[in-house]
Amino acid sequence: MDSEPKTTHKDFDVEDVLGKLNIDEKISLLSGTDFWHTASVPRLGVPAIRLSDGPNGVRGTKFFNGVPAACLPCGTGLAATWDIELIQKGGHLQGKEAIAKGASVILGPTTNMQRSPLGGRGFESFSEDPVLAGKMTAATIKGIQSTGVGATPKHYVCNDQEDQRMSVNSIITERALREIYLMPFQIAQKDADPWCYMTAYNQVNGTHVSESPRLIGDVLRKEWGFDGMVMSDWFGTYSSTESVKAGLDLEMPGPSYVRGKLINQALGCGKLREYDVDNCVREVLKLVKKVLPLGIPENAPEHTVDSPETAALLRQISSNSIVLMKNDKNVLPFKKEKATAVIGPNADFAAFSGGGSASLLPYYAITPLQGVKDAAKDVKYTLGAPGWKKLPLLTRMSKTKDNKHGLTMNVYLDPPSDKSRECIDTVHVNDSNCFLVDYKHPKLTSFLYYTTFDGEITPSQTAEYEFSLSVAGTAKLYVDGKLLIDNATHQTPGDSFFGTGTRDEISTMKLEKDNTYAVHIDFATLPTITFKVPGTTAFGAGGVRIGCERVIDYKVELDRAVELAKSVDQVILCAGLNSDWESEGYDRTTMHLPPGSDDLIKAITAANPNTAVVIQSGTPVTMPWYHSTPSVLQAWYGGNETGNAIADVLFGDVNPSGKLPLSFPLRNEDNPAFLNYKSERNRALYGEDVYIGYRFYEKAKRDVLAPFGHGLSYTTFEMSDLKLNVDDTAGEMSVTVNVKNTGSHPGAEVIQVYVSQHTPSINRPPKELKGFTKVHLKKGESATATVKLSKKYATSFWDEGRDSWVSEKGKYTVLVGSSSADTPLSGEFEVGKTMWWRGL
């Protein structure tokens, strides 16, 4: 239980406080005190403030047994709305959630680019296009900071892969760095003025970003005019002197491991001056002062703000993110009164978020099956094929001795070999993926301790069952007293727990229907692990993940699904990925769906032509069945309301209006980063240069499964009467288009504006997105859509010879349409004089 909150702190003068701090107090302010808090200076009235993840919801201070929160769709889902106003509302909701969690700063949004479909955190980021990513970032920041909470765009810059993310050197041309990877941050700085930035783990051209005077000092602070605090990613500070001199104000988390005494030593030997330290301390104090009006006390207890209004907004955002990729013969929307089959691995499973620091405990999570059952009358379900990478959690089927859902965790200071050991704490656990990074108890003096987990399972059918155990630490699993898995004596490194833990060890046991079995796990924390993976971060006490599921016979499940599909009027087939496949800590190894999913989709669509395939993933997957499948929806990870949102679109309560924020290639081999996407002995060559996503596919004339910006509707739209109004005095131009809803349903269309230079002096992409707007229209309604552009942003590229932006004299074409591949309207304008520029 949190301690009672302290008195709210009064305002203070930053320079006055800075002048009164002694050197030890100054050094303390350069680092966090724990995982989520800055240091305080009580004698001068400077409170500690709380920071909290993350990009799609505010977790609070606990990975383990945390306070539930509102979960928004993942980053690509948010960007798929192409709706700045709606995303700003989502940011405002996050700000209110942060205040309820006692947090003054949110560690998000994620503003990195998707070089490859395989990026482990691609789902967290917004887009392959820097303008869309920048506008979504700015909207999120505006929403968050409108509540008085600070936002932190991350990870500045080029943290675009998980492979050796702390050591990898991103080797990139200055042009690509400026036009693609820095641009979304630049747009966010120009449009939204964030209060904080978080630096990336990686190096850029030979220097870690967290100690880069050029990227932090020259670009961010001097060129863009950023006047706020820069913090490291967690454990992403690698030096004392270099990081302070570069302008990295805050090392996170605490307690410090590269500052503290080392700063004292650097001051003593002259490597640092007190002036250098003061520059960083000043920014920390300025941030603390800025969030004081929130009135959040130190040690604030965490609360929930679950409400009908929150649910309604989450449902609106999620349903507006869904992309109708294909709808042959108007198969959708389905009729609620018809017999409906719901089939697939993602049907009875709520894939509400990706994994890693974006994950949180949601207030609730609606599965697609539940959403469809709540909407329709006659609904039947079968699995069809498993879709998990790791076995489903044991806690889906376990109960404690007092009949609570989950497991009982007992905590000890001594190992099981000590028969006289005493239990110091008992905790009810409702999630058997236990990451103990922030578990605390007064009797714990180190990260070394021991726990047991106990529960009972009663199978609903007689079958062989698989049990799994992965651990950052050591553990053994017993069923009815029999040792089934030993993940302590011999351990194999894997991708669990941000890459610090083992692979899943799996063992099988036959269980009888209606019999009750006792499951017991002995766990020892991370210091007991028998190996160390270079380049990974050891998070506190580590963790343990326990899974269990009956052994699946793929043919039996497939046959059962086909028979069900034949017996109903319409089929909803839910497949895709989940937080085990897409997560911080590792990249995907393939673009393919899990084994069995493609065969299932082919068989079901052959059995019943009235089939809609719903794919949930944060980044593209291969779809070898796409052209023979009548209807396909891309539903992302939709947050708390994912199942309801999917049902809303399937049955026509919401007309789909989402557009793809990234191209879907036919194969991974087609994507421009294919040959360069991983760390090769600690270096990643950005060989595709500025040709990321659609810029490459269009330049190379390479076919894609679905183009950037694509998305269908249940109605139709007509665009006409393009007009350009160029104001050279203001350096602005406006693009106006008449848009008419020519179909039979109310709906929304995204007007996408691209610009192409006629005769550039260097190679450039055929066209680039420069602006967009979303228009909502009733049946038969018309409206004039206006997109305003900065003329220099719309025309410029980075001139490496002049080390500046250049807007070249000559003609340019404006192309307007509904996707990068469909731009029927065009107009021309001219730049009368070549101009070089820097800054915002």
Q: What is the largest CA-CA distance in the chain?
A: 86
Q: Which of 637, 626, 542 is nearest to 582 (CA)?
A: 637
233 catalytic? Reply is yes
Query: Up-side HSE of residue 167: CA atoms within 13 Å toward CB?
Result: 12
Distance CA 109, CA 638 (A): 16
Other residues' Cβ atoms within 10 Å of the Cβ of residue 424: 15
Instruction: Tell me phi and psi for residue 222, to 5 degrees.
Output: -80, -50
Are residues 132 and 84 in contact, defined by beta-carbon separation less than 8 angstroms?
Answer: no
- What three-state secondary structure class fits 671? coil
Distance CA 157, CA 198 (A): 9
- Cβ neighbors of 301 (< 8 A, separation 6 or more) are 2, 5, 102
Are residues 576 and 615 in contact, defined by beta-carbon separation less than 8 angstroms?
Answer: yes
Other residues' Cβ atoms within 10 Å of the Cβ of residue 780: 12
- What three-state secondary structure class fits 304? coil
276: left (phi over 0), alpha (psi -120 to 50) or beta: alpha
Q: Which of 600, 591, 641 is nearest to 618 (CA)?
A: 591
Are residues 202 and 224 in contact, defined by beta-carbon separation less than 8 angstroms?
Answer: no
- What three-state secondary structure class fits 141? helix
Q: Which of 473, 541, 459, 534 is nearest to 501 (CA)?
A: 473
Are residues 731 and 791 in contact, defined by beta-carbon separation less than 8 angstroms?
Answer: yes
**Stated length of the chain:** 840
Gyration radius of the chain over CA positions: 27
Query: Six-digit token pair at 834?
Result: 């070549």
Distance CA 175, CA 264 (A): 39
Distance CA 198, CA 191 (A): 18
Pick the catalytic residue: 233, 580, 670, 799? 233
Cα angle: 582, vertex 583, 588; to 5 degrees: 50
Beta bridge partners of 464: 510
Place of tokens 């010879």: 801
Say which amino acid occupies 214: R
Query: Six-digit token pair at 714?
Result: 């249940």
Distance CA 795, CA 812 (A): 8
Distance CA 776, CA 81 (A): 12
Distance CA 106, CA 186 (A): 19
Q: How many helices (H) and strands (E) does the chain have?
A: 17, 38
Catalytic residue positions? 233
